[in-house]
Structure 1
Amino acid sequence: MSGSVTGLPRLPPANRTRDAINVIAEYISRTGLKPNERLPTEHEVMAALGIGRSTVREVMRHFQALGVVETRRGSGSFLLKPVSAATVHVPLSFDPGPVRDGLLQTLDVRRGLEVEASMLAAVRADADDIAKMRATLEEMERVHLEKGTAGREDLAFHLSIYDATHNPLFGQIMEQMRGAFESFFEKPFDRPDFARRSFPFHRELFDAIAGRDAPLAREKTLQILAIVEEDIKDMSK
């Protein structure tokens, strides 16, 4: 990417992740990168596109969830399957209308996915998964105490649970619904306290997964989502 891609204009602040996904997918297609060939390093992508490390890692996560890129510790990221800007997004049809209706529709899907993911994580998570989950939880709690809200950090915690299932389909479904799911974390109804009451239950959910208690993990996930549903209904009146 340090060749032709460095000549591309830097990405604007808005929608940097999606723009970077498109640019890198186009780069892969245009340069004819083959499976098992290494992608540019984080530093090369950061320098070429003028984006931060967190954005680069979010982009790589998207490609990993789609099963087209594999990151190998100490070696970098490698292409597994051909991809292009035209095929890297396969968005689900989602036109909910009012914010309240859209959030409730998305919540139905979240409930189905997250209850099952939490139970599977309690059975399948290994030591690395638990460590990652703990780190994302602690970061979520830190930001929550500092700012009173922690939307993106909350999302990162839930993504770590999906990862702990060791079923890539969870991640792929999540990537296709990312836009809808992220609507939960953009101050719905202009209320920064949206779902704030659910934060203490995240620690209890982590403890249940780490303790290999699948039924309790299910219960805690449902408690979190019940609070979210209550806030959607109360704050949208």
Structure 2
Amino acid sequence: MEAHTDIPPARAWRVVLEKIESDLLDGRLAPGDRLPPERELAATLGVGRSSVREALRVLEVMGLIRTGTGSGPTSGAIIIATPRGGLAALLRLQVAAQAFPLSDVVATRLLLEQWVVATLATDGSHDLFDVRTTLAAMDDSTLTAQEFLALDAQFHLGLAEASGNAVVAASMAGLRTAIETYVQAGAKRIEDWDAAADGLRREHRAILQAVDAGESDLARSLVHDHITGYYAAAGLTRS
């Protein structure tokens, strides 16, 4: 039977989220901890069990909890410390809904990627093996524009992941669809794609060379010009 509550149904599941958020912020919950059973949460918060289940589904999609059925150590809802996938997923959904103007996506890329290359150049201990592997794959002259630009997006995402900042990497992963969409659209406006691809290859190598040399200011300048240069060459308009 559902618990009696005066909280409007549309609001009830948010009460559960706010309670869990409060417990996390105050240290009453931490990664690895198990949430109270649905029945207990419903009774404590004065909401129906269906509202509790709805809140738990939201938290699972956000990557904050893992749920298991049955009994034992893997059952119930457990706080997990891997929110990156959830953040990326939420950004991808917002991108899919066309919630972000293209100009905002480009501006955010500039903020994130300039920070990324400067960080990598300042600290040479980061592992760039995957980035170099992607760069080498882009040298294949038989790649279609679509294949090339998918690798291009992976190159930039790989740099973000190599930085070691989980929030930056998740943000770049979440924006990847938007980035690929606009660069793919832009490619159709470029008359000599082969020449453009050669230019992009040179720019990628120059960025990586600046990173390897520890030249953070140069790396920032190169990645800025790389992103804005393609935006302009492809005739993309602000919206």
Shorter-normalised TM range? 0.5 to 0.7
Deviation at 1:198, TM superposition (A): 2.8
Residue in 2 that maps onto 1:168: 166
Deviation at 1:221, TM superposition (A): 0.3
Give distance in 2, aligned partners of 1:171 and 1:65: 13
Give yes or no for contact 2:186–2:236 (8 Å, CA) kept in 1.
Answer: no
- Give 3-state SS (helix, strand or coil) of 1:233's partner: coil
Residue in 1 that maps onto 2:90: 90
Could you say if the C-alpha distance between residues 177 and 130 of structure 1 is closer, same or farther in structure 2, counting changes exceeding 3 Å? Answer: closer
Deviation at 1:103, TM superposition (A): 3.5
Give distance in 1, aligned partners of 2:209 and 2:234: 27
Could you say if the C-alpha distance between residues 107 and 232 of structure 1 is closer, same or farther in structure 2, counting changes exceeding 3 Å? Answer: farther
Give yes or no for contact 1:115–1:218 (8 Å, CA) kept in 2.
Answer: yes
Give distance in 2, aligned partners of 1:202 and 1:65: 30
Instruction: Tell me the alpha carbon deviations over residues 96-129 of structure 1, each in whole angstroms, 9 at most, x when there is no partner.
Output: 59xxx943332111111111111111123426x1
The size of the alignment, in residue pairs, is 162
Q: Percent identity?
A: 20
Q: Which runs of 5+ in 1 are unaligned?
A: 1-21, 36-63, 69-82
Deviation at 1:170, TM superposition (A): 0.7
Q: Which runs of 5+ in 2 are unaligned?
A: 1-59, 76-80
Give distance in 2, aligned partners of 1:161 and 1:189: 22
Give distance in 2, aligned partners of 1:147 and 1:88: 28
Once the two structures are superposed, the pairs formed by residues 32-181 of structure 1 within 5 Å of their partners are 34=74, 66-67=83-84, 89-91=89-91, 93-94=94-95, 102-126=101-125, 129-142=127-140, 145-147=141-143, 149=145, 150-181=148-179
- Give 3-state SS (helix, strand or coil) of 2:90's partner: coil
Give distance in 1, aligned partners of 2:161 and 2:218: 19
Residue in 2 that maps onto 1:213: 215
Could you say if the C-alpha distance between residues 93 and 187 of structure 1 is closer, same or farther in structure 2, counting changes exceeding 3 Å? Answer: closer
Q: Structure 1: which amino acid aligns with 2:142?
A: E
Could you say if the C-alpha distance between residues 215 and 221 of structure 1 is closer, same or farther in structure 2, counting changes exceeding 3 Å? Answer: same
Deviation at 1:204, TM superposition (A): 0.5
Once the two structures are superposed, the pairs formed by residues 186-225 of structure 1 within 5 Å of their partners are 186-188=184-186, 190-191=188-189, 193=193, 196=197, 197-225=199-227
Instruction: Provide TM-score, normalisation by structure 2.
Output: 0.54
Give distance in 1, aligned partners of 2:174 and 2:89: 7
Residue in 2 that maps onto 1:229: 231
Residue in 1 that maps onto 2:40: none
Deviation at 1:213, TM superposition (A): 1.1
Give distance in 1, aligned partners of 2:89 and 2:236: 34
Question: Pairwise CA RMSD of aligned residues?
Answer: 3.9
Could you say if the C-alpha distance between residues 65 and 216 of structure 1 is closer, same or farther in structure 2, counting changes exceeding 3 Å? Answer: farther
Q: Structure 2: which amino acid aligns with 1:167?
A: N
Give distance in 2, aligned partners of 1:131 and 1:229: 28
Could you say if the C-alpha distance between residues 148 and 175 of structure 1 is closer, same or farther in structure 2, counting changes exceeding 3 Å? Answer: closer
Give yes or no for contact 2:122–2:214 (8 Å, CA) kept in 1.
Answer: yes
Q: Structure 2: which amino acid aligns with 1:205?
A: I
Q: Structure 2: which amino acid aligns with 1:123?
A: T
- Give 3-state SS (helix, strand or coil) of 1:166's partner: coil
Deviation at 1:180, TM superposition (A): 1.5
